Structure 1
Amino acid sequence: MRIIMNQEPLGVAPDVICPAGLPRWSEVPAPPFLTDYSALGDIPAHSTAPFQYDPEINHKIILWSGDISSLQVDAIVNSTNESMTDSNPISDRIFERAGPGLKEEISLDIRECGTGEVRVTQGYELPARYIVHTVGPKYNIKCQTAAENTLHSCYRNVLQKSRELGIHSIALCSVNSVKRNYPPDEGSHIALRTVRRFLEKFGSSLDIVIFVVDSTDIGIYEVLLPLYFPRSKLEEEASRWQLPSDVGGPDGEPMLPDRQIRIIDNPQHTLHPDEESIDLTGQLETLVTVEHAFSQMQGDLDQQRLLGERPYNDPLADLMVKEIQHQERYERLLRRAKAEDLTEVSGIGCLYQSGVDRLGRPVVVFIGKWFPFNKINLDKALLYLIALLDPIVKGDYVIAYFHTLTTSSNYPSFSWLREVYNILPYKYKKNLKAFYIIHPTFWTKMMSWWFTTFMAPAIKQKVHSLQGVEYLYSVMSPDQLEIPAYITEYDMSINGLRYFQPGAPT
């Protein structure tokens, strides 16, 4: 929300944004209902909520999407590079509005800033008194822990410097730069928990903290803010399931220095980094080395496992053992799927292939309302899923999930989804080109954000929510889509008669 000041003091630009006109996080209403995770049978990641409901802290927080250089605060944050000459939309706007004095101060007095450190300049012609410059880390999966710690240092040092300067209002941009390959969702976790821990200890030093995000990140913060700044006891309780296991130390710093994989224990993500949000050029050599090591070591690892031996302190060998075990488990399930009678699941009709899309890729349809999660044999449901998809996923494919008129009895538990995702081999994730959710609700939006953030980051960019069936027709012909009549009837009742006829131009 952008607030335009109607009456400004003489000499103040007309587009200056005053924080008093922006809604505080405590004033943003929480959802009217939340999923009861305990009723779904899931085990929470935390015995107690790591971040308590605190209305006083919530009142200090503002989430806003706009031009950071227009904010009338004590300080704004500029994410830059070591030479402080980075060209990005935020920096460019700050320098343009601040005027030549800013460049002069940097070139004559400051000159450089180390990664993770901060430098302070005057705001010059900006509405802000100060600019706190910091340099975020370059992200690389091999140096993930170092990048996380450095990003935490950026935010922590910014906050400490604001306390030293007696600053009471500060606007934070996203320091975790996509330009430096940092995944925005992971960076948001670090930013939020670092600010939360700082306010718990030094809350009296800051009255306002504005998270200034662009349109691409606003959705991430809207989902994650309630976990670190719950607005009710219900949100606080739900965070026990939704927060990752690593919520940082006393200052929000990362506490899992040896982890090789982000939040989930899923070895194929490490073996195939091409689907991570990273720069692949720096990973090619490692990938070739791992695959070569796998081909050379597989026989030795099988022998060591049979003899009960384990290579001492060899994470690569451990990774290879996990991958072998993972593949063997899937092969066993595939043999069972081909041998067992699965008609009690296939007869339900909730999962089937329905034609191909306009690129010739098979379309797998899942009908949420027809999936009786609380009554179905989940072991056989998994076997049927494997039997149906195994021949399809050898090439590219898409999934269309219809959430139309589903109820809580149709919702699968997080633990079951996690198990299924971890069982399915890499080809399922790699060859999935799109996952469409038709008729999404608040539950599906929360579910998809949570699942793709904490369990399945490899498919995050492939998930798309569609408000109506007709939106599918841009990617597949109507005569290739076979769905139950109730879905079409419901769609017409909410969206009107906006359907393409088979054979009609699109």
Structure 2
Amino acid sequence: MTRSEKVSWLIRELKKENPGYEVIREPMNETEKRRLLRSLMNVRWPGRVSPEFLRVQDELLREELEEKGVTDGEALPVIREQYPCTAIKNDDRIVLWRGDITTLAVDAIVNAANSQMLGCFVPCHGCIDNAIHSAAGVQLRNECAQLMEAQGHEEPVGKAKITGGYNLPARHVIHTVGPVVGVQVTEKQKEELASCYRSCLKLAEKSGLKSVAFCCISTGEFHFPGKLAARIAVETIDRYLSGSRLERVVIDVFKEEDLHIYQKIFR
């Protein structure tokens, strides 16, 4: 099958799962057709999926990843090489990188999840949770659902869970729930955000991983102020690495504004 044929086939299979979707017409435009597929994957409730569906989906996602290109986390320069005046103790193990975290090859990437821990169900939403689940495939939501069913309650803020990475170049995804900020940040929320970073680092080390990449937890949909969040992230990561065997921590930023915030801290 061509890529277009794979997209069309996957759309038809997902529409078969829910008779209500049969009224949705498949767009002729390839971009809109791919967007429809992502939307159907986003809203799909966890459940059994056929081996054939997984085969076609995995082929498609890996073709798209190859087209986007994979960044080797081990090849990225550490901040010691870029910001030699930094006061960070572990500047030989921390990396600042701006890019798409779903294309980063490390042992684990961190997902800023919600307490349901099943991924974002809003079609084509711009959050990191949606991006990671869309790139990993439907297997990721299924594994998350199994973990949450076994736990029996929503994930507390500041804790973390680890899953496979599936079609991501990262071998694992570590999911953590950050604090949701209202009018102003409380001391409790500051500690909760620090706990997110500590929990992810501890879980990575406990799982025998050597490298982990963080997104900017809670600074998007959860409205944690970027400058304060960055200071908490850097302080927590640097302090943890002082007593850890982890070899590399990547701080991944997507927006130019966040890049400047971290650059200012490291300088």
TM-score, normalised relative to structure 1: 0.36
Asked if 1:154 is matched to 2:196, the reply is: yes
Equivalent residue in structure 2 for 1:206, among 246, 251, 260:
246
**C-alpha distance in 2, partners of 1:29/1:127?**
28
**C-alpha distance in 2, partners of 1:144/1:118?**
21
Aligned residue in 1 for 2:71: 17
Asked if 1:186 is matched to 2:219, the reply is: no
Equivalence map 1:380-459=2 (5 Å): none
**C-alpha distance in 1, partners of 2:249/2:146?**
30
For the pair shown, the structure with the greater C-alpha radius of gyration is 1
- Sort the Cα spacing of 1:16 and 1:142 in 2 relative to 1 into closer, same or farther, 3 A: closer
Deviations 1:97-122 (A, max 9, x none): 11111011112332542211111111
**C-alpha distance in 2, partners of 1:207/1:13?**
26
Aligned residue in 1 for 2:111: 78
Equivalence map 1:169-180=2 (5 Å): 169-180=211-222
Q: What code does the residue aligned with 2:210 have?
A: H
Q: What code does the residue aligned with 1:182 have?
A: F
Residue 209 of structure 1: SS of its match in structure 2?
strand
- Per the TM alignment, residue 132 of structure 1 is displaced from its structure 2 partner at its CA by 0.4
Deviations 1:473-500 (A, max 9, x none): xxxxxxxxxxxxxxxxxxxxxxxxxxxx
Partners of 1:140 and 1:147 within 8 A in 2:
no
- Per the TM alignment, residue 166 of structure 1 is displaced from its structure 2 partner at its CA by 1.0
Partners of 1:148 and 1:190 within 8 A in 2:
yes
- Per the TM alignment, residue 96 of structure 1 is displaced from its structure 2 partner at its CA by 1.3
Residue 217 of structure 2: SS of its match in structure 1?
coil
Partners of 1:75 and 1:170 within 8 A in 2:
yes
- Per the TM alignment, residue 169 of structure 1 is displaced from its structure 2 partner at its CA by 0.6
Partners of 2:211 and 2:247 within 8 A in 1:
yes
Higher relative contact order (CA 8 A, sep 6+): 2
- Per the TM alignment, residue 89 of structure 1 is displaced from its structure 2 partner at its CA by 3.0
- Per the TM alignment, residue 141 of structure 1 is displaced from its structure 2 partner at its CA by 5.0
Deviations 1:244-275 (A, max 9, x none): xxxxxxxxxxxxxxxxxxxxxxxxxxxxxxxx
**C-alpha distance in 1, partners of 2:126/2:253?**
14
- Sort the Cα spacing of 1:95 and 1:130 in 2 relative to 1 into closer, same or farther, 3 A: same
Residue 58 of structure 1: SS of its match in structure 2?
coil
Asked if 1:99 is matched to 2:137, the reply is: yes
- Per the TM alignment, residue 178 of structure 1 is displaced from its structure 2 partner at its CA by 3.2
Residue 212 of structure 2: SS of its match in structure 1?
strand
Structure 1: 5+ residue runs without aligned partners? 1-9, 32-50, 227-506
- Sort the Cα spacing of 1:166 and 1:188 in 2 relative to 1 into closer, same or farther, 3 A: same
Deviations 1:31-87 (A, max 9, x none): 7xxxxxxxxxxxxxxxxxxx9564xx2121111111101111100000011012335
Deviations 1:348-404 (A, max 9, x none): xxxxxxxxxxxxxxxxxxxxxxxxxxxxxxxxxxxxxxxxxxxxxxxxxxxxxxxxx
Aligned residue in 2 for 1:402: none
Partners of 1:192 and 1:225 within 8 A in 2:
no
- Per the TM alignment, residue 30 of structure 1 is displaced from its structure 2 partner at its CA by 4.1
Asked if 1:166 is matched to 2:223, the reply is: no
Equivalence map 1:87-486=2 (5 Å): 87-110=125-148, 112-140=154-182, 144-202=186-244, 205-215=245-255, 216-226=257-267
Deviations 1:326-353 (A, max 9, x none): xxxxxxxxxxxxxxxxxxxxxxxxxxxx
How many percent of aligned residue pairs carry the same amino acid?
Answer: 31
Q: What code does the residue aligned with 2:216 have?
A: S
Residue 121 of structure 1: SS of its match in structure 2?
strand
**C-alpha distance in 2, partners of 1:117/1:180?**
16
- Per the TM alignment, residue 143 of structure 1 is displaced from its structure 2 partner at its CA by 6.0
- Per the TM alignment, residue 179 of structure 1 is displaced from its structure 2 partner at its CA by 1.7
Residue 209 of structure 2: SS of its match in structure 1?
coil
Partners of 2:88 and 2:266 within 8 A in 1:
no
Residue 126 of structure 1: SS of its match in structure 2?
coil
- Matched pairs, number: 194
Partners of 2:127 and 2:220 within 8 A in 1:
no
Q: What code does the residue aligned with 2:101 have?
A: I
Residue 216 of structure 2: SS of its match in structure 1?
coil
Aligned residue in 1 for 2:35: none
- Sort the Cα spacing of 1:143 and 1:18 in 2 relative to 1 into closer, same or farther, 3 A: closer
Partners of 1:110 and 1:119 within 8 A in 2:
no
Aligned residue in 2 for 1:391: none
Deviations 1:438-485 (A, max 9, x none): xxxxxxxxxxxxxxxxxxxxxxxxxxxxxxxxxxxxxxxxxxxxxxxx
- Sort the Cα spacing of 1:162 and 1:53 in 2 relative to 1 into closer, same or farther, 3 A: closer
Residue 176 of structure 2: SS of its match in structure 1?
strand
- Per the TM alignment, residue 161 of structure 1 is displaced from its structure 2 partner at its CA by 0.7
Structure 1 runs of 4+ with >4 Å offset? 51-54
Residue 113 of structure 1: SS of its match in structure 2?
coil
Equivalence map 1:8-87=2 (5 Å): 13=66, 15-30=69-84, 54=89, 57-84=90-117, 85-86=119-120, 87=125
- Sort the Cα spacing of 1:27 and 1:179 in 2 relative to 1 into closer, same or farther, 3 A: same
- Sort the Cα spacing of 1:80 and 1:142 in 2 relative to 1 into closer, same or farther, 3 A: same
TM-score, normalised relative to structure 2: 0.67
Deviations 1:177-220 (A, max 9, x none): 23222111111110000001001111xx1111100012221100
Q: What code does the residue aligned with 1:225 have?
A: F
